[in-house]
Amino acid sequence: MSHYEAPVRKPLVTGDKVYKDVTEDIVRPIEGRANKTWWIVFSIALVAFLWGLGCIIYTVSTGIGTWGLNNTIEWAWDITNFVWWVGIGHAGTLISAVLLLFRQRWRMAINRSAEAMTIFAVVQAGLFPIIHMGRPWLAYWVLPIPNQFGSLWVNFNSPLLWDVFAISTYLSVSLVFWYTGLLPDFAMIRDRAKKPFQKHIYSILSFGWSGKMKDWQRFEEVSLVLAGLATPLVLSVHTIVSFDFATSVVPGWHSTIFPPYFVAGAIFSGFAMVQTLLIIMRKVSNLENYITVNHIELMNKVILVTGGIVGVAYITEFFIAWYTGSPYENYTYLSFGAATGPYWWAFWALILCNMLVPLTLWVKKYRRNIIWTFIVSIIINIGMWFERFDIIVLDLSKGRTPSSWAMFSPTFVDVGIFVGTLGFFFVLFLLYARSFPVIAQAEVKSILKLSGDKYKKMREEYGDDVQMYNLPEQRPLPDFKGMVEELEQKNEEVRDEKGELIESLLLKIGDASNDNADDLKRLSGVGPALEKKLNQIGVYKYQQISKMSDKEFTILNRLIDAFPKSKSRFWSGEANILNQI
């Protein structure tokens, strides 16, 4: 009874699936053709992306002055978007790493797409600091390179530099984690592909994965260790992002609660984005049997927990701002002054979207309602954007000197770049959904007997020790002894033929032995491998080579695989010269 799961647990794969069905269901979107809806959505995303690209080019060529920044509010949408995207990028690694360490099997249906979302979101996030540099062609100055290539050594005391290391480590490690998991799935598509072009592409992408038992053993250990490394990594990344604010002295930013609160907020928004994407994807790609309502409910529970942490953090911030009695604190983003000030709408958007609406998920009926979940996930995404907007713009708008108080209004370039990253994100995700296996099929297959409803029913009916397979129809055995004899005879014939050829070759050029052999690698096109093969035949000396003519080279061509015939015509000349030196 190697496959046992408590009967009370709901099946993770429904629809009486067997291994073959999993394969078929997951490759269907890849092998099929895109429908009209896909093309429409893709076109909209592409247009948005191109518009954003235009705005980025305008910003870089004209300057940051094209944005709505002013003397008071010197950070606004750019950093808001940066933090928003990085936050969204947290759910993927959380699902695949943290839930792997906790042995949560439901992650297997969603980890692939969540990780893809992570990578695409972090790509968007990374754009903003680079654009914000103003001179992005000098972006390499953030790397620790010697002084003559750029500025002084980078400042390792700065949280902005910690960000560089944190985000690049996070992006690259998530990418490698994701890709390693993809190898067996690409191999599956490769072995099914009928068109030569497709087969070729997936054969390159799969790195020649063959599914050997030692490879699987390493694969599982590598996944586990990567999960162990990625778990503290994902927590460190948003902690460090929060340091960008927490280590400064601006009221509202200088807050020790930021690291845990940012991490919880990141997971909160990341899961909301996963819900948004997967609720659509399960419908479009017909994956309802793999991403079930149970999965959605479980994700909603994570949203509830992290949303609760975020809510407690808001209340704490609000209370402490009041409790300090400091007048400056009355203008921070969570204070009475903010709730009633000129930015009241941003304050209440935050409270409504992040604290109040998600509370409906406490009700089981709403938690399992797919349409309501979808609406809530969009609202949370909006709310989390406002959280970062509030932290940055509200806190800056009313600083310590009332004479410099100001408001922020974005220009079309601010809006354009944000919309552009949304477009870019969806372009990447839509391409992914049509060319990648969107569910980690190898992992789902490994839990199918444990948690597929077909097998769960079997155990329920016939007991836990039921044999969960039918004996296959066996193909009759061929006569192996005869086959082997035939094979050996054929080999012998080949060997005899080769022996005769070698004999005739050596008759012409003369025998030689290994003692004082010449260095044949000096001939054009000869490497160590070819030299070894020549030696096996009995060719050791330049003198032998110099005696060769076309006929001998033809013989060598027959004896040696991949013999460089075009180069060999130089050999007798070269060997003559080498022989005289």
Partner 1 sequence: MSGYTLQALYADDDHLMKAVRETRDQDHHISEVYTPFPVHGLDKAAGLKETRMAITAFLYGLVGFGVAVWMMNFMMIEDWPRNIGGKPSFTFFQNMPAFVPIMFELTVFFAAHLMVITFYMRSKIWPFKQAENPDPRTTDDHFVMEVETDKENIQDVAEFLHSTGAKEVDLKR
* For partner 1, the closer CB: 200 or 508: 200
Q: Is 3 helix (H, G, I), strand (E, B) or coil?
A: coil
Considering just the CA atoms, what is the radius of gyration of the chain in Å?
33
* Options 77, 85, 219, 571; binder of partner 1; rule CB under 8 A: 219
**What's the distance, CA 358 to chain centroid?**
28
- If you search the block for the tokens 């390792």, which residue do you land on? 156
Tell me, what DSSP letter sits at residue 13?
A: B
Complex with partner 1: residue 244 or 387, whichever CB lies closer = 244
Q: Does 220 bind partner 1 (CB under 8 A)?
A: yes
Contact status: 73 vs partner 1 (CB under 8 A): no
Binding residues among 433-492 for partner 1 as defined by CB under 8 A: 441-443, 445-446, 449, 467-469, 471-475, 477, 479-481, 483-484, 487-488, 491
Among 70, 72, 198, 236, binds partner 1 (CB under 8 A): 236
- In order of 166, 505, 537, 539, 560, the CA distances from 501 in angstroms are 64, 6, 10, 13, 12
Of 127 and 230, which CB lies nearer to partner 1 in the complex structure?
230
Q: Quick check: 524 binds partner 1 (CB under 8 A)?
A: no
The angle subtended at Cα 478 by Cα 477 and Cα 481, nearest 5°, is: 115
Is residue 173 within the footprint of partner 1 (CB under 8 A)? yes
Give yes or no for residue 521 binding partner 1 (CB under 8 A): no
Give whichever of 182 and 526 is closer to partner 1, judged by the CB atom. Answer: 182
Q: Which positions from 385 to 424 touch partner 1 by CB under 8 A, shown as an x/- string? A: ----------------------------------------
160 lines the binding site for partner 1 (CB under 8 A): no
Nearer to partner 1, 379 or 448 (CB): 448
Residues with Cβ within 8 Å of 389's Cβ and at least 6 positions away in sequence, in order, are 76, 77, 80, 346
Site string (309-348) toward partner 1, x via CB under 8 A: ----------------------------------------
Residues of 5-23 as b/e, b for ≥16 C-beta within 10 angstroms?
A: beeeebbbbbeebeeebbb
Distance CA 299, CA 278 (A): 11
The answer to whether 122 and 171 are in contact (CB under 8 A) is: yes
**How many residues of this chain bind partner 1 (CB under 8 A)?**
86
Nearest approach in angstroms of CB 225 to partner 1 is 5
Specify the residue, 26 or 545, whose C-beta has the smaller distance to partner 1.
Answer: 26
Spatial distance between the Cα atoms of 216 and 177, rounded to a whole number of angstroms: 15
Find the helix packing angle between 370-389 and 77-88, rounded to 10°: 140
Rounded distance between C-alpha atoms, residue 254 and residue 577, angstroms: 80
| Contacts of partner 1 in 19-48 (CB under 8 A) | 19-20, 23
Q: By CB under 8 A, is residue 562 in contact with partner 1?
A: no
Among 16, 74, 215, 500, interactor with partner 1 by CB under 8 A: 215
Q: Is 559 helix (H, G, I), strand (E, B) or coil?
A: helix
Closest distance between partner 1 and the C-beta of residue 1, in Å? 10
Q: Does 350 bind partner 1 (CB under 8 A)?
A: no
**Among 188, 187, 224, 220, which residue's Cα sits nearest to residue 205?**
187
Which three-class secondary structure state does DSSP give residue 12? coil
Please, what is the minimum distance in Å from the beta carbon of residue 170 to partner 1? 8
Angle at 348 between CA 320 and CA 374, to 5 degrees: 115
Which residues within the stretch 126-155 sit at the binding site for partner 1 (CB under 8 A)? 144, 147, 152-155
Residue for token digits 């705005």?
55
Told to check if 109 binds partner 1 by CB under 8 A, we report: no
Q: Does 256 bind partner 1 (CB under 8 A)?
A: no
DSSP state of 4: -
Query: Least distance from C-beta 496 to partner 1, angstroms?
Result: 16
* Contact (CB, 8 A) for 265 and 363: no
Q: Which of 233, 279, 321, 393 binds partner 1 (CB under 8 A)?
A: 233
Residue selected from 31, 221, 464, 511 as contacting partner 1 according to rule CB under 8 A: 221
Considering only residues 119, 187, 302, 523, which one is a binding residue for partner 1 as defined by CB under 8 A? 187
User: Least CB distance from residue 484 to partner 1, whole Å?
Assistant: 5
Residues 78-107 binding partner 1 (CB under 8 A) are none
Calpha distance 56→44 (Å, rounded): 18
CA distances from 214 to 101, 210, 218, 219, 489 (A): 22, 11, 6, 8, 35
In the complex, least distance from residue 421 CB atom to partner 1, rounded to whole angstroms = 24
